[in-house]
Amino acid sequence: MLKQKPSPESVLITEQETEAIKKLQQILSIESAQVKLVASNGEEILIPESVYNLLGQIVRAMASGQAVSIVTHNRELTVHQAADFLNVSRSFIVKLLDEGAIPYIEVGSRRRILFQDLMTYKQQRKVQRRQLLDELIEMTEEAGLYEE
């Protein structure tokens, strides 16, 4: 029987779970698989496609040794939670908020950041980094410093 822990920050698999996760990954990688959830009382339900896709992503990440965290999109995050999510310091997030790079709302004297706004910032940052990397590659190629 599965034990539920109260809202973990992230989940890593244990050595004992490794084999089961790999087997689950094999099952979920079969495109025509119709996965069902079977309760202890024998009741069965087909897993919806959206849940199936998300489950596949989670299992692939866990099988490759990555930690997994799940955050709902409409959730408001504290400055500390946002910093943890982006893997940056709390003061860096505060600076981004003060500069207007990430919108926030005030709840009393505290700032809250919508998860969707944080994801938008993260995606913009990813695009910017890719553009800068492409420019750097182009400059090194023009200078003859980049070999293919």
pLDDT digits (tens, 9 = 90+) for 67-104: 887 766 668 999 999 999 899 999 999 999 999 999 99
What percent of the chain stands above pLDDT 70? Answer: 85
Q: Rounded to whole angstroms, how far apart are CA atoms 102 and 41?
A: 48
- For the chain, give the mean pLDDT: 85
Q: In the block, which residue shows the tokens 């930690």?
A: 67
Higher per-residue pLDDT: 2 or 28: 28
> Would you state the torsion angle of the CA atoms of residues 30, 34, 39, 43, taken in this order, to the nearest 10 degrees?
-160
What is this structure's pTM? 0.54
Looking at the domain covering 76-142, what would its CATH class be?
A: mainly alpha
| Per-residue pLDDT band at 32 (split at 50, 70, 90) | low
Mean pLDDT of 108-123: 93
What DSSP state is assigned to residue 37?
E
DSSP assignments along 65-107, one per residue: T--B----TT-EEEHHHHHHHHTS-HHHHHHHHHHTSS--EEE
Higher per-residue pLDDT: 34 or 142: 142
Q: Which two tokens stand for residue 96?
A: 């981004």
Q: Rounded to whole angstroms, how far apart are CA atoms 28 and 4?
A: 22
R_g over Cα of the chain: 21
| Sequence ranges of the domains in the chain | 15-63, 76-142
| Per-residue pLDDT band at 6 (split at 50, 70, 90) | very low
Q: Three-class SS of residue 4? A: coil
The CA-based angle 52-70-5, given to 5 degrees, is: 100
Q: In the block, which residue shows the tokens 């996965």?
A: 35
